[in-house]
Amino acid sequence: MDDATRLLDNEARGLAVRLDQVRPFALTETMVLAAALPYDAHLLIERFLVAHRRRLRTRVRGYLRWLHGEGDGADPAERQRRFVAIRMAFNDVLGQFDIFTEVVTQRSEHGTGVRLSGMDVLARDALRVRVPGQTDIPAVCYLARGPGAAIRRVHTRLPGAAPSPVALIRVPRERMVGSGLASSLVHEVGHQGAAQFGLVASLREEIARRHRNDPAEHWPVWWDWIGEIVADCWSVGTLGLTATTGLLAVVSLPSLFVFRSTPGDPHPTPYLRVLLSASIGEALYPHPQWAAMRATWKRLYPADRLPAPERDALERQEEGIEPLVDLLLEHRPPALRGRALRQLWPEGGRQPDRLLELYRRWNGDVGVMARQRPSLVFAAVGQARSTGVITPEAESALLSTLLQAWAVRGSLDVIRRPATRRAS
C-alpha cells in the first residue's frame, strides 16, 4: 500500500466512523412529550437523515473497495478526486443533520419546547384552507435571533441539493409575545401555501397581462413584490386585524427605512406594505377599523415631509393599491379549482364583530378556547387586544397557556395514533 492509498484509506474510514456517531434524534434528544415534533414530521426527518447516511456509507465502502482493488494502480490525483467528492457529500449530510438539530434541540429548553410544539399546531392549522383534496404539509417551528421570520419550504433544497421533507419555520425570539407571534408565523406559512398552489407565478402572469393593457407604473413594482404580498394576504385572511397589527410592529422602524425601497428586495416598502395589509383586510372583512388603521399609520409616518420626488412616487404607487387588491383577491389559478383567492378563507370568518363576540362568549375559558382552531383563537384575542378588551399582559399569559394546551393535545394524539393503527 503506497503512501497515497494509506492516507486516503485512513481518511475514508474516518468519515465512516464519524458517520456512525450520528445517532437518531429519538436516542439523543431529551424533551417532554408535549414538546416533541409532530409525529409525521419527526418520522419524515428521521427517515430522510437515515436514508442519506445509508447512501453515503455505501459510497464510502464502495470507494474503499475500489481503492484497494482496481483503483490501486490509478493515478493518485484520481484517487484524491474521488475521495474529495465523497468528503463533500459527507459535509452535506452533516449540514442536513445540523439544520434539523437546531430545530430539535430547542424542544429540550424548559418552556420553549412546549411553546414551539403549540406553534407547530398553529402553523398546520394556518395551512388548512378551503380547497378540496389539499395535501397536508408537515411543518415545524424553531426560534432564532434577529428581526425577521423565515421559512424553508417543504421540498426546497438542503445541503447536497436534497429536498427538505418538512417545512421549517423560523420565528424571531423577540416575536414570542402575544398575538404578534401569529402574524409572523402565518406570514411564513403563506409562503408555503403560495408555493403549494403556484400563486406567485400565476399572479405574475396576470399582473403582466394587466400591465399590457394599463401602462401605470405601479404594476411592475407589484410584480417584483407579489411573493411577499401573497404571504401577507394569507396572514390577513387567516388572522384578520391581528395580522396587520403584528406587521405594523415588525416594520415600525426609523422613517429612513420605512419609506425606503431597496432595489432587488422582494419586500414592499414598509410604508406601503402596512397600507396594503389594511386594504386587503378591508376587502375581505369590511369594517371601519381598517380605514382607522391606515390613518394611524399615516400619522405615525407623515409622507408629506418627504422630498417632493419621493412623495410623488409614493403617492403614485399608493394609487395602485386598490386595483392590486382587487386583482389579488379575485385571482383564480388552476390549482384552486375555480375558486378565487378570497375564497380560501371562510366568508366572514374573521369579521371584527364576530371575533369580539366569540372572545366574549369564550369568557377566558381555556378549556373551551383550546378546542377551537388556533388561528381563530389568535384572531379573536388579537382583535380583543386592539379594541382594549384585554390587556397585553393578559393576552400574553392567555396565549402561552393555550399554546401549552395545544401542545399537550398534540402529544396525546401521538400516543393514540399507534394504537389506532394496530386496531385497523
Highest mean pLDDT among 105-109, 157-161, 288-292: 288-292
Q: In terms of pTM, does the model score above 0.95?
A: no
Cell of 226: 407579489
pLDDT at 29 over 80: no
pLDDT in tens, 200-220: 999 999 999 999 998 888 999
pLDDT number for residue 87: 92
pLDDT number for residue 180: 84
Distance CA 341, CA 344 (A): 6
At 263, which helix (H) or strand (E)?
none
pLDDT at 198 over 60: yes
> 423 falls in which pLDDT band (50, 70, 90)?
very low
> 124 falls in which pLDDT band (50, 70, 90)?
very high
pLDDT in tens, 397-421: 999 999 999 998 877 665 555 443 4
3 state DSSP class of 246: helix
Cell of 330: 379575485
Higher-confidence residue: 300 or 76?
A: 300
pLDDT in tens, 139-197: 999 998 776 789 999 999 999 889 999 999 999 887 776 788 999 999 999 999 999 99
Mean pLDDT across the chain: 90
| 268 secondary structure, DSSP code | P
What residue has cell string 459510497?
A: 59
Q: What percent of the chain has pLDDT over 90?
A: 67
Distance CA 229, CA 326 (A): 13
pLDDT at 299 over 70: yes
The mean per-residue pLDDT over the stretch 245-254 comes to 92
In order, the DSSP letters of 173-238 are: GGG-STTHHHHHHHHHHHHHHHHHTTHHHHHHHHHHHHHHH---THHHHHHHHHHHHHHHHHHHHH
Distance CA 24, CA 28 (A): 7
Q: What percent of the chain has pLDDT over 70?
A: 96
Q: Edge to edge, what strands does the sheet with 139-144 contain?
A: 139-144, 167-172, 150-152
| 167 secondary structure, DSSP code | E
At 349, which helix (H) or strand (E)?
none
Distance CA 272, CA 60 (A): 54
The mean per-residue pLDDT over the stretch 23-42 comes to 82
Lowest model confidence (mean pLDDT) among 39-48, 65-74, 238-247: 65-74
The mean per-residue pLDDT over the stretch 108-135 comes to 89
pLDDT in tens, 322-368: 999 999 999 999 999 889 999 999 877 799 999 999 999 999 999 99
Contact 171, 185 (CB under 8 A): yes
